[in-house]
Amino acid sequence: MTASHTSEPAAQTEPAARSKYVYAFAEGNRDLKDLLGGKGANLAEMTNLGLPVPPGFTITTEACRVYLDGGQAPPELRDEVSEHLSALEQAMGKRLGDAGDPLLVSVRSGAKFSMPGMMDTVLNIGLTDVSVGGLTQQSGDERFAWDSYRRLIQMFGKTVLGIDGEAFDDAFDDVKRARGTTDDLDLDAADLKTLVETFKGIVRDRAARDFPQDPREQMDLAINAVFDSWNSDRAILYRRQERIPADLGTAVNVVAMVFGNLGMDSGTGVAFTRDPGSGDQGVYGDYLQNAQGEDVVAGVRNTVPLQELERLDRESYSQLLHIMATLERHYRDLCDIEFTIERGTLWMLQTRVGKRTAAAAFVIGAQLVDEGMISLDEALTRVTGAQLSQLMFPRFDDSAVKKRITRGMNAAPGAAVGKAVFDSYTAVKWSRSGENVILIRRETNPDDLNGMIAAEGILTSRGGKTSHAAVVARGMGKTCVCGAEELEVDTKRRRFTAAGGVIVEEGDVVSIDGSSGEVFLGEVPVVASPVVEYFEGRLGAEQSEDELVRAVHRLMSHADDARRLKVRANADTPEDAQRARRYGAQGIGLCRTEHMFLGDRKQLVEKLILAESDDERQQALDGLEPLQREDFIGIFTAMDGLPVTIRLLDPPLHEFLPDITELSVRVALAESRGEKHENELRLLQAVHRLHEQNPMLGLRGVRLGLVTPGLFKMQVKAIAEAAVECRRRGLDPRPEIMIPLVASVQELEAIRADAEEILRAVAADSGVDVPALIGTMIEVPRAALTAGQIAEAAEFFSFGTNDLTQMAWGFSRDDVEAAFFSAYLEKGIFGVSPFESIDTDGVGRLVRIAAEEGRKARPNLKLGVCGEHGGDPESVRFFHSVGLDYVSCSPFRIPVARLEAGRAAVTADLSDSR
């Protein structure tokens, strides 16, 4: 009997649960970063830990997304904000902007991922012409009240109303100049009152409205401005640089103000639980008396080291150290902390897992394992291949003659050399024309991001290790020296003056050392990093006094133990093979035989291609075969006992033929002079006959082998005879013969039959058996889609992801990268070039299909990848997930691939265990 649904009463639809858009700090925790953003989640976490956090609430990223999608905030948001604002007023015993005792709040951005300085913040909201008098009465400090008011108008004007910040800066400088000072602390209350009126006039003139005197209007406009800042040019650029998804949105934190600018018993600072530059343990950070937070980040006044706080305020210093230790134990990582001291009372304004340099990442990871905070698996997930790559960059030669002109703070390590430039526009322009540049500023701000990305390094005369320049540079892996106070940077005249009257004009070469903070005139030579010396085997890790080398060795060893993916090298010479082996290669995944035919041998290939008779063709082959055999003997010797995948000749014909235009000119000149030119004319006729409109899709790879009799047979014979000779020398050669550009199984079957015949003949003649796998590159989309058929004739697949990407996208790589890739990246069509990281949705799907169907047809099919994606960190993790057996990349990238293969394995294991 079938039940009838028609007789059942209609189900009552439950109304959808209304979204909650505002959370008090006590309602959140650090696991809610998707909803509350990193700042809001961590403020909630500190609140729950009982740390001194000013009261406040967080508006969710969901509210931001609604605002950005529809152009206005959710209708429920105003009431929710009012409810939480009322609770905040009750907790503080004050009302927002009250005339007698005003509550002031900050409105701060806070995305899931840290984006330092990229989005907007407004402080001191609630101050008006009326409430500034109440703040004066409440604080007993008229100067402080008017200074707070001018800060609000300045930040609000720039952030909310979109007024050029230089208008306020110039007015501020005019007042200081009139007082004969460069220090804003020398201005008194009367000066600041005048400045407030000037700032209000700037708002009136530039924004065509008065500065709002309604505190709630100030707050609502500031909230919307923070939402809008998610899509500011600098935020979009930073997200693209750091590969942060564009659809996350930012949360907004509304926090009761605490003041570091109430006098010399107040101040603000940033602290790190370990040195973010080196990983060294100790007390690191900056402190600035009588200041608000933006003064530290902006670098408008130079800070003092955090240790100075012990002398200035011992009780707050001791409390801060205790809180730092608590947070590091709780987060089990380096913590970056922002704090304010208001008349001797310490307040925690923010914490997050701190950005760090590549060196610090490895050192801290190993330290935390030793301290029992994390496992080796977790330590491995906290370092990246990109960071390891940074550590392999060169450093300045200590023995070189150098002219030091100043020294600043070592904000982000590395050695950078380039021409001095003084604005972001010039940095980008010169960089695009091929110049290496050093961006030099008094202090950077978020608008300098383009120039910071373009520059080799950054040098500022103001700011400390927690300034905008330092934080952003560390995150990007850029060399940075900050707070070089001796420099007088004149951006208008495009030069700086150092001690002793040394003048550096725009275009002069300077060298900066981000590890020591030193700045040198001219170009300083560089030497290999100790990490490279370790990989080269010139520096033993166990004996090294370098903590970084020991940390790299430890985490690399664990990565090697953990990884499933093997790592091979793309190498075409014995020298490359030897270097790859030193770097940890477990074989050669791509030996490109066409690279062996360049130079003097090119003429032999030219004769082979242009041969008009069997005799001419055989003569060319006979000349090439012994050269190939010696090539392979050298590579098999270097890779003794490890597999060597040799790709048979693959290049398009035009790479071995004379340029048709140059040859035509030579023939025409010879005819005009009445000279003999039979050879050139014959060659020109052959080049015309073989000329292709699109040679990358023409006669190359397996097609060339099928239509050029004897070519692939010669190569296979040279491989086999080289392997025989190596066996006779007591070596263990393991050749793998790879047929390129196969699109159908019939192509592969034809070449395979010839290859097997040659292998049998060599074995019979020599009496030495030479087992060799025969497989193919999967670089044509049709091959990927018919992989099940092709696997019946192939013992291995090697994915040629460079060509596979070209053909899947319909791109000619040599043309499109220069023609329009930069526009695609700027428009967000690409997050990253598909030639840099594998396109997992398109090209990656072809790889996955081919892997699955190939293994279904031949379960023991060996799978690898030999495009340069094999050394890209994100791509390596994808190849692990697809189930490939190995990746292959250039020798220098082998350590990166080893590390990422290990990270992929432990990340998968950690995810499974959860």
Enzyme catalytic residues: 468, 866
Element housing 452 (H / E): helix 449-454
Separation between Cα atoms, residue 550 and residue 580, nearest integer Å: 21
Name all contacts of 1-10 with Cβ < 8 Å and 24+ positions apart: none
**Helical residues (DSSP H) of 161-292, grouped into ranges:** 165-178, 189-207, 215-229, 233-242
Q: Comparing C-alpha atoms, which of 420, 418, 442, 430 is closest to residue 490? A: 442
Which residues pair with residue 776 across a beta bridge? 739, 797
DSSP type of residue 129? T
Separation between Cα atoms, residue 723 and residue 637, nearest integer Å: 9
Strands 862-865 and 509-513: unpaired
Q: How many CB atoms lie within 10 A of CB 754?
A: 16
The dihedral sign for the CA sequence 543, 546, 550, 556: negative
Separation between Cα atoms, residue 267 and residue 281, nearest integer Å: 24
Angle ∠(538,539,541) on CA atoms, nearest 5: 145
Q: How many CB atoms lie within 10 A of CB 323?
A: 22
Separation between Cα atoms, residue 851 and residue 858, nearest integer Å: 10
The tokens of 348 are what?
Answer: 């925690």
Q: Comparing C-alpha atoms, which of 391, 333, 363 is closest to residue 514? A: 391
How does 599-615 read in b/e, with b if 16+ C-beta sit within 10 Å? eebeebbbbbbbbeeee
Rg over alpha carbons for the chain, rounded to the nearest Å, is 33
DSSP labels, 794-808: -SEEEE-HHHHHHHH
Angle ∠(730,733,739) on CA atoms, nearest 5: 160
How does 195-223 read in b/e, with b if 16+ C-beta sit within 10 Å? bbebbbebbeeeeeeebbeebbebbbbbb
Q: Comparing C-alpha atoms, which of 173, 111, 100 is closest to residue 137? A: 100
Looking up tokens 């003092």 gives: 304
Torsion, CA 865, CA 870, CA 874, CA 879, rounded to 10:
20
The tokens of 356 are what?
Answer: 């760090």
Contact between residue 112 and residue 35 where contact means Cβ atoms under 8 Å apart: no
User: What are the C-alpha distances in Å from 595 to residues 270, 691, 696, 715, 742?
Assistant: 54, 21, 16, 13, 20
